[in-house]
Structure 1
Amino acid sequence: MNTSQKYWQSTNEAIPVQTKTILNEYLLSLKLANKAEVTVTKYRSILERFFSECTISIEELTSDDVLKWLNKFSQGKKPKTVDLFLSVLSSFFKFCLAEEYKEHMVIKKRWRPNIPQSLPRYLNEQEYASVKLVSESLSLRDRAIVLFLFSSGCRRSELANLSIEDIDLDRRTARVIGKGKKIRHIHFSLDCALLLKEYIQSRQDDGIESLFVGRFGKPLKGQGIYHIIKKLGKKAELNHSLHPHSCRHTFATNMLARGADLEFIADEMGHANLNTTRVYARIPTEDMIIAYQNRMG
């Protein structure tokens, strides 16, 4: 494997050698902790930017040095972006403390911006109906993907990693590998099961283990799923973008409207912390009542 393929290693030449050695130790620790590749890659990118612009050695780096960089970086940035960078830097320097590369924490909690918790972006009843109607014109594979996302609430990375063996059509369950390599079983609708059965049969024993396959006979990646859903949102003429995570939020909202308790929804979605799921309980009461009445009568 080439160094460029090792997402947990930095080869940025603008970073001092000693700093890069410690950085790569930290990135490796993330990989060994089963952090998702996309997470490790994001952390690496953020830390590479910081250390390529702030080239003071880790041993000599002070809070004032970090704050000076942060003030310059924050100009014109959204609070969420600043908060993400601070979160990554905080994680890295906690590692440095544990490994005795630093004696004191250089990131201060008071630097974190106040970010009001926003409601998840989900489809209301009319938007959901419009998307489902437009999806009927999609290919068999894409219809199965759309229904799977809306009826299971899984993440697009979980969907992309599914194999045919992970699917139990009779029980309408799927074995997915979530964050931290945690395995859980999720459920999907009867309509989705029928489409999956038809799609799998149409594959004619192509010898590919992945559940969903791209145009050139290779496993469909997360980016491909993203484009399918985004294109669907445009076809449905929504007044906002549609993403796979919107399907996940819509699933949770619909489950709550049907009377499912938060613990069940958390298990289905793979939330390790129930507080992550509780945000759905904050959705405006009027929307919940309308959604419930439309589904349950």
Structure 2
Amino acid sequence: MKDNRKYWESSNENISIETRRILNEYFLSLKLANKAEATITKYRRILEKFLCECLVPLESLTSEDVLKWLTEFAEDKKERTVDLYLSCLSSFFQFCLSEDYMENMVIKKRWRPKISQTLPKYLTEEEYARVRLAAESLSVRDRAIILFLFSSGCRRGEVCNLSIADITLKKRTAKVIGKGKKVRYIHFSIMCAIVLKEYLQTRDCEETAPLFMNRFGKPLGPGGILKIINDLGKKAGLNQSLHPHVCRHTFATNMLARGADLAFIADEMGHADLNTTRIYARIPTEDMIIAYQNKMG
């Protein structure tokens, strides 16, 4: 049976009617700000958990109440999980403050755990070569997906949402709808264009149809793409698991190694903040030099 519940609304009956009304106002504000469905769903789950376990009314809530709940919650949790919950709670309380549902901010900045920024996981030149070799034995659709991910830097969800009409093979560009429903135009490689053309010749459908379909004639979903990429990593004998974001990180490191500037890479990847892209510049210089020499001579 299909769940008709709106993802931006909480229907949790363990939360008081008045608090739930405020909560749903907050979720609606996120939706109107074009926050991704996955983000709103995640925030709903976090806030429902907090409001079901911390039973102090919003108007009476104090920093001590929040800290007590947070301390118990964080006991066996990773720092990144605690940081996510704090970000979500802080966002909700800031909304309540601006709408006069609360009088004071009950989250303290000093509570945020210090998280060391890890480098993105990407494929080395040798690993990338093994993946490309393993991909040659796959179906034309799967090869097209793999080449598109590695040469465009697109997110998995963005690829799922592409239609045939979004692709311009001659110019090797695609119209992509990214986070916050922002439209951008990305590029893909010559080899990707060749394989995409070959794949589309096996299809008999309208330009409005999804670019990638499953064997049942339905749009290929995120889970389908994840399985294709995971299976390819195993086939290539990689020591790490291969997932779509590794393709995205590999695209960025390869572009940087070829001499592309960070602003261009940020535009291609749909990063709203250039600081998000700057992390790729922290990859060890030796790796970048070797990658550059392997590509450019």
Band of TM-score, shorter chain: over 0.9
Question: Which residue pairs with 1:29 in the alignment?
Answer: 29
- Deviation for aligned residue 1:89: 0.5
- Asked whether the equivalents of residues 15 and 51 of structure 1 are also in contact (C-alpha less than 8 Å), the reply is yes
Question: Which residue pairs with 2:229 in the alignment?
Answer: 229
Residues 203 and 273 of structure 1: CA distance in aligned 2, closer, same or farther (over 3 Å) = same
User: Quick check: 1:127 aligned with 2:127?
Assistant: yes
Question: Which residue pairs with 1:270 in the alignment?
Answer: 270
Q: How far, CA to CA, are the matches of 2:289 and 2:39 in structure 1?
A: 37
Q: How far, CA to CA, are the matches of 1:83 and 1:146 in structure 2?
A: 33
Alignment of structure 1 residues 153-232 onto 2, 5 Å: 153-205=153-205, 209-232=209-232
Q: How far, CA to CA, are the matches of 1:42 and 1:224 in structure 2?
A: 22
Residues 141 and 3 of structure 1: CA distance in aligned 2, closer, same or farther (over 3 Å) = closer
Q: How far, CA to CA, are the matches of 2:152 and 2:130 in structure 1?
A: 19
Q: How far, CA to CA, are the matches of 1:176 and 1:207 in structure 2?
A: 15
Question: Which residue pairs with 1:142 in the alignment?
Answer: 142
Q: How far, CA to CA, are the matches of 2:244 and 2:5 in structure 1?
A: 26
- Deviation for aligned residue 1:109: 0.5
Q: How far, CA to CA, are the matches of 2:207 and 2:248 in structure 1?
A: 30
Question: Which residue pairs with 2:285 in the alignment?
Answer: 285
- Deviation for aligned residue 1:208: 6.2
Q: How far, CA to CA, are the matches of 1:15 and 1:227 in structure 2?
A: 38
Amino acid at match of 1:167: I
Q: How far, CA to CA, are the matches of 1:4 and 1:66 in structure 2?
A: 33
Amino acid at match of 1:147: L
Alignment of structure 1 residues 34-183 onto 2, 5 Å: 34-183=34-183
Structure 1, 201-210 or 101-110: larger mean CA deviation: 201-210
Q: TM-score, normalised by structure 1?
A: 0.97
- Deviation for aligned residue 1:55: 1.9
- Asked whether the equivalents of residues 80 and 115 of structure 2 are also in contact (C-alpha less than 8 Å), the reply is yes
- Deviation for aligned residue 1:5: 3.4
Q: TM-score, normalised by structure 2?
A: 0.97
Q: How far, CA to CA, are the matches of 1:80 and 1:260 in structure 2?
A: 31
- Deviation for aligned residue 1:234: 1.7
Q: How far, CA to CA, are the matches of 2:39 and 2:199 in structure 1?
A: 32
Amino acid at match of 2:43: Y
Query: Does the residue aligned with 2:76 lie in a helix, a strand or coil?
Result: coil
- Asked whether the equivalents of residues 165 and 208 of structure 2 are also in contact (C-alpha less than 8 Å), the reply is no
Residues 4 and 57 of structure 1: CA distance in aligned 2, closer, same or farther (over 3 Å) = farther
- Deviation for aligned residue 1:215: 2.0
Q: How far, CA to CA, are the matches of 2:208 and 2:256 in structure 1?
A: 37
Q: How far, CA to CA, are the matches of 1:58 and 1:259 in structure 2?
A: 52
Gaps of 5+ in 2: none
Residues 114 and 89 of structure 1: CA distance in aligned 2, closer, same or farther (over 3 Å) = same
Question: Which residue pairs with 1:260 in the alignment?
Answer: 260
Query: Does the residue aligned with 2:260 lie in a helix, a strand or coil?
Result: coil
Deviations, residues 121-172 of structure 1 (Å, cap 9, x unaligned): 1111111111111111211111111000000001111111100000000000
- Asked whether the equivalents of residues 213 and 220 of structure 1 are also in contact (C-alpha less than 8 Å), the reply is yes
- Deviation for aligned residue 1:22: 1.0
Deviations, residues 77-123 of structure 1 (Å, cap 9, x unaligned): 11001000000111111110111101110111000000011101111
Q: How far, CA to CA, are the matches of 1:170 and 1:5 in structure 2?
A: 43
- Asked whether the equivalents of residues 134 and 236 of structure 2 are also in contact (C-alpha less than 8 Å), the reply is yes
Deviations, residues 209-239 of structure 1 (Å, cap 9, x unaligned): 1101112111111222122112211222211
CA RMSD of aligned residues (A): 1.3
Gaps of 5+ in 1: none
Amino acid at match of 1:111: W
